Structure 1
Amino acid sequence: MTNLAALLLALAIVAFVLEMLRRKKLREKYAILWLLIGALTVILAAFPNLLNIASELLGVQLPSNLLFIMSILLLLGVCLHLSWELSILEDETRTLAEEVAILRAQIEAITQNETPATTQKRDGD
């Protein structure tokens, strides 16, 4: 019964990720990771002995401990990847803000240079 619940949960995760992809709520580069997690969960739910075999091969006493270790490592990887993406976005935001400030200064300079000229034309008319 537990395996059936895990299998249904894994299929729900895969379906949810595919639906988010379809609605353009999730980018493909992130969806690949979540689809991989869902596929691995489906495999482990369908063949629960794989976790027992892997824990014996790796020398982990309990299969649940191996599952928790794998989950923690996966979450650390996701956090590291998101931190990397955030750093890139901060650099891009800073660059864009600097470019906007330069453009704004140029527009103000052009506006100040044109204002006396238009005033002189009106005065001369």
Structure 2
Amino acid sequence: MITVFSIFFSVLFCFLVFFLIYKGKLKEQYAILWIVLSGVMIFFSFFRDSIGFLADFFEVHYAPSLLFILAFVILLLILIQMSVVVSLLKENIKTLTQEIGLLKKELSKKKDGE
């Protein structure tokens, strides 16, 4: 029963990502990460024994804890990516604000000169 439940929500998550891309709410550059994540979720839903195999490979004694570690690492990577994007956007906003200020100043000089 848990396999059917996890497959259902993994596929639902994948469709949600594609729906958000279709509606234009999620840009393609960010969607790749979510598509890969949903693919991993679907893979682990179909092949639940692979979690045990990975746990044995990494010498983790309790297999579900490996899932939490992987989820934590993935979330950290997403946070780093979003922090980089926010930093770039902040710099772009600063540059645009300065350019608008210069354009307003130039426009007011032209109005005063006329």
TM beyond 0.5: yes
One-letter identity of the residue aligned with 2:23: R
TM-score, scaled to structure 2: 0.98
**Alpha-carbon distance between aligned partners in 1 of 2:62 and 2:35, rounded to the nearest angstrom:** 26
Residue number in structure 2 paired with 1:39: 39
Write the mapping of 1:105-120 to structure 2, written as runs, cut at 5 A: 105-114=105-114
Flag structure 2 segments of 5+ consecutive residues without an equivalent.
none
The code of the aligned residue for 1:67 comes to L
How far 1:62 moved relative to its partner? 0.9
| Cα-to-partner distance string for 1:67-86 (whole Å, 9 max, x where unaligned) | 00000000010001000000
| TM-score, structure 1 normalization | 0.90
Whether 2:14 is the aligned partner of 1:9: answer no
Percent identity (aligned):
23
Q: Which amino acid aligns with 1:70?
A: L
Query: What one-letter code is carried by the residue in structure 2 that aligns with 1:87?
Result: S
Aligned to 2:25: 25
- Off by >6 Å, runs of 4+ in structure 1: none
1:4-55 Cα distance to aligned partner (Å, 9 max, x none): 1010000000001111111111000111111111111111010100000000
Structure 1 unaligned segments of length 5 or more: list them: 115-125
SS of 1:60's equivalent? coil
Q: In structure 1, what residue type is equivalent to 2:50? A: L
Q: Give the number of equivalent residue pairs.
A: 114
1:61 offset after TM fit, Å?
Answer: 1.1
Partner of 2:48: 48
